[in-house]
């Protein structure tokens, strides 16, 4: 890793320089909700945000995505990939993207996802946890890779970790804006990280989590939550690692059709339905439990399918808390 | 070319198998794609009806017979209804083959017990033909459970094997649930190979060396439990019982997430880790069957 310092007074100039690499998307405040939007000026950006409603997956796996266009009985690719700079992504969301990478870039790679990933620059930013965050328990509170540049807040600017060749190129082109890192900066960086570590209010007990859950297949806790859960699928939409999609063809006019895919949710009854009407997950209990199993699956090379961003808790209309559910399941088993 | 682009395939023949199922014989329009189309019994393709959508369907022909491939399609919904209206010469899109298929090479030299229920006959027909064509298997048993005489898929082939199977080291047995004059005629002609009952009834009187036998099952979800119990009672190892499963597969390549099964200790995609699984997989992956 290469480390440089971006002093506060150069920050705006650095931000403006990013536009030459692509359209800049950054967290902006919309009412009470933060959201990644295309920005022109630094003044539009809210870097002091907790979490956006939709995670950055929306740039790569779109809520509604055109795949192929039908022209004269032949499918044509829907072309055009925008070059983007995602500015101000939190560490948990970077981990989320890496989990998506694992699925979507594995052969055969998803061509749309791959092209968009190749045309994006990821610039991370450090954050302070709020009452929903539990990324520390999952080890996703610090990104070791998956970004081009990562900005760590210092009292007088940012300590910048350069994570890729592209990141190096950006730093190199703006050489005059950066300084060397001093001992003082490192001290401040460590102090920030320590303060941050102490600020977590929520923790997930992940010890033997996968086996514990497997044994708790018939736990009464699932039955309790079946009644509380509204089955709306909002947790799936806002989750940085949920990526189920449904495909359908739409006619745009009498001669042209387009094949689109859109987010699907395992809370929908149709998710496990097959031809002939048999449903492999017919009840809400089956579907509720399935999501927890999917999120708590541990992949030795990618970790858990959950990054502890807290979105599912914050945006759940029934106020179901992910960590609390898992704790209760564990308690009922012991 | 994108992973999700399909290739044009022409329908060479449409054959009505029952009132609900039709057999489509297809060939890729591009001869090169046709030459490179290699598949294994148990694999599936995604059929693309342009402007309507896509659906997965298992291949029911065998790779030992080259130059064409066959799909047995039951009319159950909007898309399959459309497919049933297609005629010879019409074009559909095909991508694939996908999935792992049956490990035909591993099973060489062994007995094969194929247990089919209803539409489950389609993927197992691929295994049956493959085994008969290659001649590399000891004895092939086909236990086929069907609702009624009218529902028997590939009736001419089944009848042919009832008559001449033994000469090819192949024992075919048929169980039907609904009685009809045609069934009684069959039963009279081929007793005790044809009987009224369920597919597990067909195991009666059959002995096979469990150390040298593989069982391959495909049928409606309810069937697996009973067939597997029958096989386990005969001390067949869970690793020698293969099943092919059905799920709502959209992408076929492990992205769209609809076919994910299992729990936190073992998550599997039916489309790419399957659709063929062993019974051991089912024991270690909850929700598989």
Q: Tell me the pLDDT tens digit for each residue of B105-123.
A: 999 999 999 999 999 999 9
- Are B18 and B150 within 8 A, CB to CB? yes
Angle between helices A220-228 and A284-295 (to 10 degrees): 110
Residue A298: pLDDT above 90?
no
Residue B1 banded pLDDT, cuts 50, 70, 90: low
Q: What single DSSP character describes residue B5?
A: -
CA distances from residue A59 to A105, A248, B76, B155, B187 in whole angstroms, order as listed: 15, 20, 37, 52, 63
In a domain? residue B235? yes
The answer on B190 and B256 residing in a single domain is no
Q: B10 in helix, strand or coil?
A: strand
Instruction: Say how many CA atoms lie within 13 Å of A61 toward its Cβ.
Output: 31
The answer on B278 and B173 residing in a single domain is no
Strand order in the sheet with B241-244: B194-196, B170-176, B140-146, B111-117, B213-218, B241-244, B276-278
Contact yes or no for B220 and A248 at CB 8 A: no
**Distance from C-alpha of B84 to C-alpha of B90, rounded to nearest angstrom:** 11
| Residue numbers of A between 280 and 299 with CB closer than 8 Å to B | 280, 290, 292-294, 296-298
The answer on B226 and B123 residing in a single domain is yes
**Interface residue B95 vs chain A (CB under 8 A):** no
> Rounded to the nearest 5°, which phi and psi values hold at A283?
-105, 160
Instruction: Say how many CA atoms lie within 13 Å of A257 toward its Cβ.
Output: 15
In a domain? residue B106? no
Residue A268: pLDDT above 90?
yes
The answer on B51 and B29 residing in a single domain is yes
The percent of residues above 70 in pLDDT, for chain A, comes to 100
Name residues whose C-beta falls within 8 Å of residue A241's C-beta, 6 or more positions apart in sequence: A57, A96, A99, A100, A295, A305, A306, A307
- Are A235 and B41 within 8 A, CB to CB? no
Q: What single DSSP character describes residue A53?
A: S
- Are B279 and B245 within 8 A, CB to CB? no
Q: Which residue has the higher pLDDT, A178 or B184?
A: A178
- Are A141 and A135 within 8 A, CB to CB? yes
Nearest residue, CB atoms, A243 vs list B257, B267, B287: B257
* Residue after which a domain boundary falls, among B66, B98, B130: B98
Residue B289 banded pLDDT, cuts 50, 70, 90: confident
**Interface residue A246 vs chain B (CB under 8 A):** yes
Residue B183: pLDDT above 90?
no
**Interface residue A271 vs chain B (CB under 8 A):** yes
Contact yes or no for B267 and A210 at CB 8 A: no
Interface test with chain A among B30, B91, B248, by most A beta carbons within 10 Å = B248
What is the H or E stretch that residue A161 is in? strand A157-162
| Domain encompassing residue B262 | 245-289
| Residue numbers of B between 214 and 253 with CB closer than 8 Å to A | 220-221, 246-248, 250-251, 253
**pLDDT tens figures, A87-114:** 999 999 999 999 999 999 999 999 999 9
Task: Please tell me the distance in Å from A294's CA to the nearest CA on chain B.
Answer: 6
Label the pairing between strands B69-74 and B53-58: unpaired
The answer on B225 and B159 residing in a single domain is yes
What is the end-to-end Cα distance of chain A in Å, rounded? Answer: 44
Strand order in the sheet with A74-77: A74-77, A64-71, A257-263, A245-251
Bridge partners (DSSP) listed for residue A259: A68, A249
The answer on B219 and B119 residing in a single domain is yes
**Distance from C-alpha of A32 to C-alpha of A15, rounded to nearest angstrom:** 25
Residue A301 banded pLDDT, cuts 50, 70, 90: confident
Query: Which tokens go with A127?
Result: 């954050």
What is the end-to-end Cα distance of chain B in Å, rounded? Answer: 36
Q: Which sequence spans correspond to the domains of chain A?
A: 2-59+80-198, 209-241+273-333
**Interface residue B77 vs chain A (CB under 8 A):** yes
**Distance from C-alpha of B126 to C-alpha of B99, rounded to nearest angstrom:** 14
Examine residue B192 and say whether the peptide bond preceding it is cis (omega within 30 degrees of 0): yes
Label the pairing between strands B91-98 and B111-117: unpaired
Total domains, chain B = 3
Whole-number pLDDT of residue A140: 94
The stretch A177-203 carries a mean pLDDT of 95
The stretch A121-141 carries a mean pLDDT of 95
**Distance from C-alpha of B12 to C-alpha of A323, rounded to nearest angstrom:** 57
Query: Which tokens go with A309?
Result: 């961003």
User: Dmax over Cα atoms in chain B, in whole Å?
Assistant: 56
Count other C-beta atoms under 10 Å from residue A60's C-beta: 22
Q: What single DSSP character describes residue A90?
A: -
**Interface residue A276 vs chain B (CB under 8 A):** yes
- Are B41 and B130 within 8 A, CB to CB? yes
The answer on B178 and B67 residing in a single domain is no
In a domain? residue B103? no
Q: What single DSSP character describes residue B194?
A: E
The CATH number of the domain holding residue B263 is 2.10.240
Residue of chain A nearest B254, judged by CA positions: A103
- Are A63 and A262 within 8 A, CB to CB? yes
**Interface residue B281 vs chain A (CB under 8 A):** no
In a domain? residue B123? yes
> Rounded to the nearest 5°, which phi and psi values hold at A113?
-60, -45
Examine residue A108 and say whether the peptide bond preceding it is cis (omega within 30 degrees of 0): yes
If you average pLDDT over every residue of chain A, what do you get? 94
**Interface residue A328 vs chain B (CB under 8 A):** no
Bridge partners (DSSP) listed for residue B244: B276
Residue A71 banded pLDDT, cuts 50, 70, 90: confident
The answer on B116 and B88 residing in a single domain is no
| Residue numbers of A between 79 and 108 with CB closer than 8 Å to B | 103-104, 106, 108
Whole-number pLDDT of residue B122: 96
Tell me if B259 is assigned to a ligand binding site.
Answer: yes
Contact yes or no for A68 and B54 at CB 8 A: no
Whole-number pLDDT of residue A226: 93
Instruction: Say how many CA atoms lie within 13 Å of A318 toward its Cβ.
Output: 16
The stretch A70-99 carries a mean pLDDT of 91
Q: What single DSSP character describes residue A179?
A: B
* Burial class (CB within 10 angstroms; exposed 0-12, middle 13-18, buried 19+) of A80: exposed
CA A236 to chain centre: 12
Contact yes or no for A73 and B6 at CB 8 A: no
The CATH number of the domain holding residue B89 is 2.40.30.10
Of B6, B44, B13, nearest in space to B27 by CA: B13
Bridge partners (DSSP) listed for residue B196: B176
**Distance from C-alpha of B91 to C-alpha of B189, rounded to nearest angstrom:** 42
**Distance from C-alpha of B67 to C-alpha of B48, rounded to nearest angstrom:** 20
**Distance from C-alpha of A274 to C-alpha of A188, rounded to nearest angstrom:** 57
**Distance from C-alpha of A317 to C-alpha of A312, rounded to nearest angstrom:** 10
């Amino acid at each position: 890793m290469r480390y440089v310092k971006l002093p506060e007074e150069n920050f705006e100039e650095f931000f403006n320089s990013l536009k030459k690499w692509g359209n800049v998307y950054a967290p902006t405040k919309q009412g009470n909700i933060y959201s990644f939007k295309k920005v022109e000026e630094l003044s539009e950006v809210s870097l002091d945000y907790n979490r956006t409603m939709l995670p950055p997956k929306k740039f790569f796996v779109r809520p509604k995505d055109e795949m192929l266009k039908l022209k004269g009985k032949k499918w044509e690719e829907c072309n055009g990939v925008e070059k983007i700079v995602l500015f101000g992504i939190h560490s948990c969301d970077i981990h989320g993207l890496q989990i998506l990478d694992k699925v979507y870039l594995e052969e055969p790679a998803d061509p749309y996802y791959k092209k968009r990933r190749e045309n994006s620059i990821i610039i991370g930013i450090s954050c302070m946890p709020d009452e929903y965050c539990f990324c520390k328990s999952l080890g996703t509170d610090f990104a070791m890779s998956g970004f081009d540049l990562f900005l760590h807040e210092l009292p007088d600017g940012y300590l910048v970790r350069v994570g890729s060749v592209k990141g190096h190129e950006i730093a190199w082109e703006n050489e005059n804006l950066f300084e060397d890192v001093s001992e003082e900066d490192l001290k401040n960086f460590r102090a920030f990280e320590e303060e941050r570590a102490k600020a977590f209010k929520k923790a997930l007990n992940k010890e033997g989590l996968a086996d514990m859950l497997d044994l708790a297949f018939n736990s009464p806790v699932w039955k309790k939550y079946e009644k509380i859960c509204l089955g709306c699928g909002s947790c799936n939409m806002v989750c940085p690692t949920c990526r189920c999609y449904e495909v359908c063809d739409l006619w745009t006019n009498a001669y042209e059709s387009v094949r689109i895919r859109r987010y699907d949710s395992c809370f929908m009854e149709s998710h496990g339905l097959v031809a002939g009407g048999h449903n492999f997950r017919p009840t809400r209990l089956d579907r509720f439990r399935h999501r927890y199993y999917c999120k708590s699956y541990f992949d030795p090379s990618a970790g858990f399918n959950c990054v502890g961003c807290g979105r599912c808790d914050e945006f759940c209309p029934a106020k179901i808390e992910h960590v609390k559910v898992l704790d209760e399941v564990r308690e009922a088993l012991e | 070319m994108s992973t999700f682009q399909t290739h044009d395939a022409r329908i060479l023949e449409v054959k009505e198998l029952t009132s609900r199922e039709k057999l489509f014989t297809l060939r890729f329009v591009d001869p090169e794609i046709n030459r490179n189309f290699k598949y294994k019994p148990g694999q599936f393709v995604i059929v693309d009806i342009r402007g309507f959508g896509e659906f997965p369907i298992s291949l029911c022909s065998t790779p030992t017979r080259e130059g064409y491939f066959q799909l047995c399609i039951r009319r159950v919904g909007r898309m399959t209804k459309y497919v049933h209206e297609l005629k010879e010469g019409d074009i559909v899109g095909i991508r694939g083959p996908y999935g792992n298929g049956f490990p035909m090479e591993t099973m060489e030299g062994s007995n094969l017990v194929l247990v089919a229920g209803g539409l489950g006959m389609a993927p197992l027909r691929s295994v049956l033909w493959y085994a008969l064509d290659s001649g590399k298997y000891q004895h092939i048993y086909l236990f086929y459970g069907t609702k009624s005489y009218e529902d028997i898929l590939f009736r001419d082939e089944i009848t042919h094997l009832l008559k001449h199977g033994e000469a090819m080291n192949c024992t075919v047995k048929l169980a039907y649930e609904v009685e009809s004059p045609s069934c009684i005629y069959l039963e009279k002609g081929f007793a005790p190979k044809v009987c009224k009952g369920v597919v597990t009834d067909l195991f009666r009187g059959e002995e096979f060396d469990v150390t040298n036998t593989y069982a391959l099952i495909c049928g409606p979800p309810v069937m697996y439990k009973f067939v597997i119990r029958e096989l386990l009672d005969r001390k067949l190892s869970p690793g020698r019982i293969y099943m092919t499963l059905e799920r709502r597969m959209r992408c076929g390549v492990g992205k769209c997430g609809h076919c994910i099964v299992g729990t936190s200790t073992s998550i599997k995609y039916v489309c790419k880790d399957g659709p063929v699984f062993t019974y051991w997989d089912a024991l270690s992956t909850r929700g598989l069957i």
